[in-house]
Amino acid sequence: MTGEGGEQEPAVQALIDSIIFDHAERLDRSQGEIARGGMATVEAAVDRTLRRRVALKLMHADYQRSTLAVRSFMREAQITGQLEHPNIVPIHELAVDADGRLFFTMKLVEGRTLLEILDDLRAAHDRRGPRGLWISTTLDHDELLGLIDVFLRVLDAVAFAHSRGIAHCDIKPENIMVGDFGQVYLMDWGIAKGLPERDGDDPTTRAARVRDTLLPTPGTTHVVMGTPSYMSPEQARGERGEVDHRSDIFALGALLFEILTGHPPYQGDDAVEVLNQAKACQAVLLPHLAIARELRRIVSVAMSPDPDQRYQSVEQLRADLRGFMRGGDNFPRQRFTKGEWLIREGEVGDAAYILVSGRCEVRKQIKGKHRPLRTLGPGDVFGETAILASTPRTASVVALTEVVAVIVTADVLEREVDAMKPWMGAFIRVLARRFSEVEKRVARGVRTTLTPQGSTRVDPAQIANLALMTLKTWGRRDPELGRSMSAIALCESIAKLVGLSEDSVLKILRQYAHFNIELTQDQISLADERGLVAELSRLMTGSL
């Protein structure tokens, strides 16, 4: 708004004045130091115009006398600033401060480097050997999944950079930031190399390439640049002209190697020893480590000494790793029509199924009739137990709608189980065999007694335990009700096993408040699983 004569109101001018600063005063640099490196210091600062906290990378005065160092510093800011990607830290400004020192500002990432995360895990697993070198051990499942998730996002950043004509050339845990809320950033593009244009690049692709005007000086073409512990052989030999996007792929393989083993591919008492190992490509995944064969293969391909034998793009590496993580993307799919049987009770299993779309119903034959046990939806898995236990199917599955399912054949399932840690594969097979015998064992194991009138009496705790096991096996998950299924089907199933009537089974189950039974809706649910388990443990003197 303006006043008379077109002048701005004082309040408006005051607002505008609040964001006007001399260049030297615009950044509040009193926030403290974050990190210090050989060539620069990183400080926390506040941009007074936006009220935004930023990270400020300030070049050391001594290095500012070096053309090579200044070129590298400015080049890092300019290249990173052009790589606009969620996993590459944004650059805000490249400038000179009041003392004439170069700096650039970037997004402030609150978190830790991947190196710090790995060091904490190594310390927790006591991985330091007698020479002070890291020793080979493997992480637990959740730790490994978390690190592979970080690794996949690093792959995204590198793939994007390659598409813009840039190779990073120094991929390592120290240059990867992991934010407190899951953000992942690939940092430090100071020794990045421009890649030649690819045949077939269209004008749009060429226009999107990073404009690299501060090319390395001729004297750096045979200088070893990077970190030896993760270097490809061509990079370790100083063959800068031979370094390309596949050198980054080697370093990514080396990073995955460290995630899987707990130490980098090359380590030694000094830099010369490590560099010589890198030149000779002397990295070995020890055979005793519990690492899946597919992960071993991925690392082996990525870290091939011959660039032509490596993955030829990050996308290829990423596809193989994601395929391993999802464990079924490449399996065949089959379409079933409504009413079609996917598996039948009593048949010998030759495949397991992952439901992609549609709905199915699990049915069990009781007294000559197929009784519904539960409904399956997308993401549900069935049919695997009969394969692993080498036993007939214990129930049937029929399509309620048109269905698409992933088919996992017996040989593939066996191979994937073999790829697990040896003890885990054996454990799963034993569980499957035991599970397949549950119905037979519980039927034999239910204790009965004769009443004075000569009728059969069944221990109520045994009946409740059978109901618990049936719900845990066939019940559908409900966030409010817990495990639930058809009350009629459950009672019929138990009655068949123990020789009681359905009404008798229902009467026994009503004695336990841990079950919610709604006959009008034909539903029984497990309301208090822990409470039921505790009571059954107290009541039962034996186990099924």
DSSP character string of 44-88: EEEETTTTEEEEEEEE-TGGGG-HHHHHHHHHHHHHHHH---TTB
Residue listed under structure tokens 């992609």? 356
CA distance 25 to 93: 15
Which amino acid is located at 136 in the chain? S
Cα separation of 11 and 439, whole Å?
81
CA–CA dist 48, 222 (Å, integer): 44
Distance, CA of 336 to CA of 291 (rounded, Å): 37
The CA–CA distances, whole Å, from 127 to 269, 274, 489, 508 equal 17, 19, 54, 55
| Alpha carbon separation from 424 to 408, 412, 419 (Å, rounded) | 19, 17, 10
Take residue 419 and report the two structure tokens written for it. 């790829």
Torsion of CA 499, 500, 502, 507, to 10 degrees: -150
Determine contact, residues 206/197, Cβ cutoff 8 Å: yes
CA 131/CA 214 separation, integer angstroms: 42
Which of these, 451, 432, 82, lies nearest to 424 by C-alpha position? Answer: 432
Question: Cα(20)–Cα(51) distance, rounded to whole angstroms?
Answer: 13
Tell me the β-bridge partners of 353: 382, 407
511 within 8 A of 460, measured Cβ to Cβ: yes
**Total Cβ atoms within 10 A of residue 407:** 17
Look at residues 256, 258, 226, 265 and name the one whose alpha carbon lies nearest to residue 243: 226
- 526 SS3 class: strand
CB-side exposure of 328: number of CA atoms within 13 Å? 14
Q: Which two tokens stand for residue 235?
A: 């990079």
Q: How many CB atoms lie within 10 A of CB 471?
A: 22
Say whether 170 is catalytic.
yes
Annotated catalytic residue, options 156, 170, 380, 459: 170
Residues 6+ apart with CB under 8 A from 518: 487, 524
User: What is the spatial distance between Cα 70 and Cα 60, in angstroms, rounded to a whole number?
Assistant: 10
Which residues are designated catalytic? 170
